[in-house]
Structure 1
């Protein structure tokens, strides 16, 4: 491949469907790296800031898919994918869909079959970083499914982060995703519960974090939790980059994946229950750290 061909591949047209916080970050990163980017969202106004930077807003899903060889979707779940793309009709045939929704391996297999019936090349995937990290070279994105599709479109995928191919089984990306997210949630829950225990003796979260994070927490979560320690003392949990409601969706996928795979489900079910309790207490629009409010008090 010549340098000119390589540059052309890196800047291939791409469509993004779904403009929540993560979808906005994906489209912004792709546009920032020179891709002619088209977007569609059920609430069109979410694209306003992107349009101001040169991103094209499609009026329909069919128009969005037709604008690019590759469509990257970042929707709530697989059911939403079927609802959204059901109206695209023949516009899907011969295109590539890259699914960055969350769900379970069983759902990923069903989605791959759905795509094949419509003549669509399909990759399932998972994003392992928060929205502000999208576009950074070291930000890990997981993919599984067709190796040929992955290799052909790797330059586009690399514009969003570090693409890791896991294998031809389309369920592997979401399986890895749920397994790794369970580690993350369990670690955060342990830290927040420990902080609540120390706080019961009047120890501020900031003071406890100095020892707890340096002693135990890994490099990935440690800096983030250290930065957020003052938030715990203030009891302020802004949900701009992701709400507890969104996290409950991921926790539900973890619990269902454990059940599908035939492994013990008590831990993921408990984590889901804790998040649901925080939402019931009025924290659904806040970020995940709001479960700290649950840990600070005995169950009533």
Structure 2
């Protein structure tokens, strides 16, 4: 058993996610202190064995490791600043959602306060916290993460340390969410096209699922290689050819009375890549436009 497997933990912020974090620490046997602006949010956790801190200062003094999950980075800093003076030996693990810029600025702020800082991004819903499959990304000083990794495994068995850069967890977070939302939006646009002729999504679903399995997903590793190497083989379907097909999608959307914004965006980016000399390359060349939209 690791030396810190029963280390005390303080959880600040008891919304749905913060409460789930506190429950997971309790379930793993960690003495857990909790604090929330609305004290009654702690009632159930206290019934499960948590200690309710009367003030933020009391919460910060209860142990070395402080896990924070609140509305945003500004709220997080205001809560810590409200103590007037934070113990210099505290380690902040901030699991509040934000941007890479927020994370970097907060890491610098924590350093000014004399506190160690780890930024994290939770890729899960509250009900998934504590599972071996739950993924949380972490970034910050290696030695600080290593010192508390065993404790943090109580909330996510699949915790992943990304390196010293504190902005990387947020960057991975928004990148994965962007992949999710754009994929969902693409499916809904397709469903809207079919719905314009009263074709139910359920009738289209088997073909969409097969398309994902046999065409879309297998191509993702190839695209990853292409964007890393800057080489975009056409695989017998050049970007010039595909742009014509995308134009058909735009026109079909307009004709069927479906919002054409998504395919219009795609068509515009493909045409921009062609103007940069990628007409004979594959579709992956669109990455060059997304990566550097203002490049000539």
Is contact 2:94-2:118 (8 Å) kept?
A: yes
Distance (Å, rounded) in 2 between the aligned partners of 1:204 and 1:92: 60
Q: CA RMSD in A?
A: 2.4
**Superposed, which structure 2 residues align to 1:97-136 within 5 Å?**
97-136=92-131
**Superposed, which structure 2 residues align to 1:1-300 within 5 Å?**
3=1, 6=2, 8-161=3-156, 162-213=158-209, 215-216=211-212
Using the TM superposition, give the Cα deviation of residue 264 of structure 1 relative to its aligned residue in structure 2, in angstroms: 5.2
SS, match of residue 33 in structure 2: strand
Identify the range of structure 1 (91-100 vs 189-198) with the bigger mean alpha-carbon deviation. 189-198
SS, match of residue 4 in structure 2: helix
Using the TM superposition, give the Cα deviation of residue 212 of structure 1 relative to its aligned residue in structure 2, in angstroms: 3.0
Distance (Å, rounded) in 1 between the aligned partners of 2:136 and 2:121: 6
Is the alpha carbon distance of 1:263 and 1:36 closer, same or farther for their aligned partners in structure 2, counting shifts above 3 Å? farther
Question: Please, which runs of 5 or more residues in structure 1 have no aligned partner?
Answer: 220-260, 266-300
Is the alpha carbon distance of 1:14 and 1:214 closer, same or farther for their aligned partners in structure 2, counting shifts above 3 Å? farther
Distance (Å, rounded) in 2 between the aligned partners of 1:152 and 1:88: 25
Distance (Å, rounded) in 2 between the aligned partners of 1:215 and 1:181: 21
Distance (Å, rounded) in 2 between the aligned partners of 1:70 and 1:208: 50
Distance (Å, rounded) in 2 between the aligned partners of 1:58 and 1:210: 53
Distance (Å, rounded) in 2 between the aligned partners of 1:64 and 1:199: 54
- What is the total number of aligned residue pairs between the two structures? 219
Is the alpha carbon distance of 1:53 and 1:192 closer, same or farther for their aligned partners in structure 2, counting shifts above 3 Å? farther
Is contact 2:80-2:86 (8 Å) kept?
A: no
Is the alpha carbon distance of 1:174 and 1:203 closer, same or farther for their aligned partners in structure 2, counting shifts above 3 Å? same
Using the TM superposition, give the Cα deviation of residue 208 of structure 1 relative to its aligned residue in structure 2, in angstroms: 4.3
Is the alpha carbon distance of 1:205 and 1:148 closer, same or farther for their aligned partners in structure 2, counting shifts above 3 Å? same
TM superposition score normalised by structure 1: 0.67
Is contact 2:120-2:139 (8 Å) kept?
A: yes
Is the alpha carbon distance of 1:199 and 1:21 closer, same or farther for their aligned partners in structure 2, counting shifts above 3 Å? farther
TM superposition score normalised by structure 2: 0.68
Partner residue of 1:278?
none
SS, match of residue 86 in structure 2: helix
Question: Please, which runs of 5 or more residues in structure 2 have no aligned partner?
Answer: 218-289
Using the TM superposition, give the Cα deviation of residue 40 of structure 1 relative to its aligned residue in structure 2, in angstroms: 1.0
Is contact 2:118-2:166 (8 Å) kept?
A: yes
Which structure would you say has the larger RCO, counting Cα contacts within 8 Å and 6 or more residues apart?
1
